[in-house]
């Protein structure tokens, strides 16, 4: 079978790809692998288990809890909470393992299982591979060692997690939000209770949309993947800004008072300057992926800050941040990591910090986000080519060099082979949209000629 674990746990259509049996088996395997790795040594292990509101999360949670308890792990069920809340509680409660059931911004039929290590950090690839191998061996007949009697895990609900997480969010805010009217779009997801509570306690006047999850409506025409409702609501209510989360609330996109979108790059630019003023932006550095707009890099450089870029994926951003002790990083999609206060992207925290900057500066979000000008970006997918030769074709290297010479400092070129299909993505940014289209078209032709 192919690798079960993707970049963010195991995902698929619930009850088709991701079954109760699989969730139970993976949980038992995780307990065994962590025990073998010495994570449980000398104490009785505990796991924190949370989920988003998807209907399938109800039976998958039951399966995960059964698997962990049957392997001798005590379980604290925190209920419906955002992914970053489960990560925070895993850390603060000293748990050995965290499990989040969510498929984030995916459509409702999907779900996922994400394991977190001690401290609330993502599991290492090697541990995920080991869990998968142990799970596979069991599926093919290898019996589990199972505790009996008092050795089985005990299960209890942990409702206090909600207040602990909200209190944490309020405690790390640099200033209050009094006087700000804010519209929150909760995507009918995991932050539907947490986020309005946190913003209200911080002093904001809160208007909510997408905050009535029924198990079936998560991400349905709302949230960070569908901003039209939020844009309209912000303008209608005369709000200072709007904040949109995705299903598990590890992302945040924003809307200014005119209804214009403020993306992850712009949010990071605003937060970077705020953190620099407070002395919280270590090494005057922000980490982002190669997909961040060139306008973001230029804006940071203008302000005397440095941008370090990684491969696409929040995991690579986080690795770079942890390795060098950087405080701020993220993706254009709104997955922003503020490492002093969270171990993963936290949409509610990001939104609160953004609103705090608006409140403290007395400037509108539109004006603050104006520090960065998004350069026009053209993306062309070139199908039916040999994506494996992108880095070795001399013809293509020459075409890229010519394009980069033409664009100079005010533009850039990125060629990315697809990870799953026989196609190459050509991305060109330039100060002028016509130039971007022209250069992208020529490069797409070069890709066809060199790799077709």
- Which two three-digit tokens encode residue 418? 């697809």
- Shared-domain flag, residues 187 and 221: yes
CA-based torsion, 53, 262, 412, 439: positive or negative: positive
- Shared-domain flag, residues 248 and 317: yes
- Shared-domain flag, residues 52 and 154: yes
Mean pLDDT of 281-297: 95
Between the alpha carbon of residue 285 and those of residues 264, 293, 316, 354, the distances in Å are: 16, 16, 16, 18
Q: Is residue 100 part of a domain?
A: yes
Q: Which of 103, 130, 159 is the last residue of a domain?
A: 159
Q: Is residue 5 part of a domain?
A: no
E strand or H helix at 206: strand 205-209
How many helices (DSSP H) and strands (DSSP E) are in the chain?
14, 18
- Shared-domain flag, residues 256 and 389: no
- Coil, strand, or helix at residue 297? helix
Per-residue confidence (pLDDT) for residue 1, from 0 to 100:
47
- Shared-domain flag, residues 230 and 362: yes
Mean pLDDT of 8-12: 90
Q: Any known ligand binding at 200?
A: no
- Shared-domain flag, residues 77 and 116: yes
Q: Is residue 2 part of a domain?
A: no
Q: Which residue has the higher pLDDT, 393 or 196?
A: 196
- Shared-domain flag, residues 313 and 168: yes
Q: Is residue 347 part of a domain?
A: yes
- Shared-domain flag, residues 171 and 151: no
Provide the pairing of β-strand 253-256 with 261-262.
Answer: antiparallel
Provide the residue range defining the domain that includes 85.
Answer: 10-159
- Coil, strand, or helix at residue 436? helix
Q: Is residue 140 part of a domain?
A: yes
- Which two three-digit tokens encode residue 377? 């970006």
Q: Is residue 145 part of a domain?
A: yes
Per-residue confidence (pLDDT) for residue 2, from 0 to 100:
58
Q: Mean pLDDT across the chain, nearest whole number?
A: 95
- Shared-domain flag, residues 22 and 118: yes
Q: Which of 159, 187, 204 is the last residue of a domain?
A: 159
φ, ψ of residue 80 to 5 degrees: the values are -80, 110
Q: Could you list the active site residues?
A: 104
DSSP string, 139-179: HTTPPPP---GGGS--EEE-TTHHHHHHHHHHHH-SS--TT
Q: Which of 137, 159, 181 is the last residue of a domain?
A: 159
Task: Write out pLDDT tens, residues 70-98.
Answer: 999 999 999 999 999 999 999 999 999 99
Task: Write out pLDDT tens, residues 306-345.
Answer: 999 998 888 899 999 999 999 999 999 999 999 999 999 9
Nearest to 404 by CA among 440, 362, 368: 440
Residue percentage of the chain with pLDDT more than 90: 85
DSSP string, 342-387: -SS--HHHHHHHHHHHHHHH---HHHHHTTSPPPPEEEEEEESS-G
- Shared-domain flag, residues 134 and 244: no
Residue 27 DSSP code:
H
- Shared-domain flag, residues 240 and 196: yes
For position 419, which CATH number holds?
Answer: 3.30.310.50
Task: Write out pLDDT tens, residues 372-426.
Answer: 999 998 999 999 888 888 888 899 999 999 999 999 888 999 998 877 678 899 9
For position 266, which CATH number holds?
Answer: 3.40.120.10
Q: Is residue 3 part of a domain?
A: no
Q: Any known ligand binding at 220?
A: no
The count of structural domains within the chain is 3
Per-residue confidence (pLDDT) for residue 388, from 0 to 100:
85
pTM of the model: 0.92
- Shared-domain flag, residues 362 and 320: yes
Q: Is residue 118 part of a domain?
A: yes
Q: Any known ligand binding at 284?
A: no
């Amino acid at each position: 079978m192919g690798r079960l674990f993707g970049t963010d746990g195991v995902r698929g259509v619930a009850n088709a790809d991701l079954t109760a049996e699989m969730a139970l088996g993976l949980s038992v395997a995780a307990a065994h692998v962590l025990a073998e790795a010495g994570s449980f040594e000398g104490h009785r292990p505990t796991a924190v288990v949370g989920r988003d509101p998807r209907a399938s999360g109800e039976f998958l949670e039951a399966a995960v809890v059964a698997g962990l308890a049957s392997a001798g792990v005590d379980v604290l069920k925190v209920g419906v909470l955002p992914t970053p809340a489960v990560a925070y509680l895993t850390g603060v409660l000293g748990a050995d393992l965290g499990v989040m059931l969510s498929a984030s911004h995916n459509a409702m039929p999907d779900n996922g299982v994400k394991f977190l290590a001690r401290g609330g950090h993502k599991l290492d690839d090697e541990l995920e591979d080991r869990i998968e191998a142990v799970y596979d061996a069991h599926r093919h007949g290898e019996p589990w060692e199972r505790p009996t009697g008092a050795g089985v895990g005990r299960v209890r609900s942990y409702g206090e997690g909600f207040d602990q997480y909200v209190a944490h969010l309020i405690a790390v805010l640099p200033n209050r939000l009094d006087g700000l009217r804010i519209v929150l779009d909760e995507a009918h997801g995991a932050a539907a209770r947490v986020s309005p509570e946190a913003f209200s306690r911080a002093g904001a006047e809160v208007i909510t949309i997408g905050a009535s999850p029924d198990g079936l409506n998560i991400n349905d025409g709302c949230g960070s993947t569908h901003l039209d409702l939020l844009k309209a609501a912000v303008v209608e209510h005369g709000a200072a800004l709007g904040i949109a989360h995705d299903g598990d609330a590890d992302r945040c996109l924003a809307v200014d008072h005119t209804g214009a979108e403020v993306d992850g790059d712009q949010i990071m630019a605003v937060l970077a300057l705020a953190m620099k003023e407070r002395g919280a932006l270590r090494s005057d550095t922000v980490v982002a992926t190669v997909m961040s707009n060139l306008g973001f890099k230029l804006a940071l450089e203008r302000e005397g800050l440095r941008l370090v870029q990684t491969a696409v994926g929040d995991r690579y951003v986080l690795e770079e941040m942890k390795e060098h002790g950087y405080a701020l990083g993220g993706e254009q999609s709104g997955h922003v990591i503020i490492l002093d206060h969270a171990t993963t992207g936290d949409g509610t925290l990001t939104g609160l910090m953004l609103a705090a900057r608006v409140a403290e500066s007395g400037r509108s979000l539109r004006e603050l986000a104006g520090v960065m000008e998004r350069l026009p970006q053209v993306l062309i997918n070139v199908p039916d080519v040999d994506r494996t030769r992108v880095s070795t074709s001399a013809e293509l290297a020459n075409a890229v060099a010519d394009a980069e010479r033409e664009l100079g400092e005010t533009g850039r070129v990125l060629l990315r082979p697809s990870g799953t299909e026989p196609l190459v993505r050509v991305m060109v940014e330039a100060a002028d949209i016509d130039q971007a289209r022209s250069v992208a078209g020529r490069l797409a032709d070069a890709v066809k000629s060199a790799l077709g």
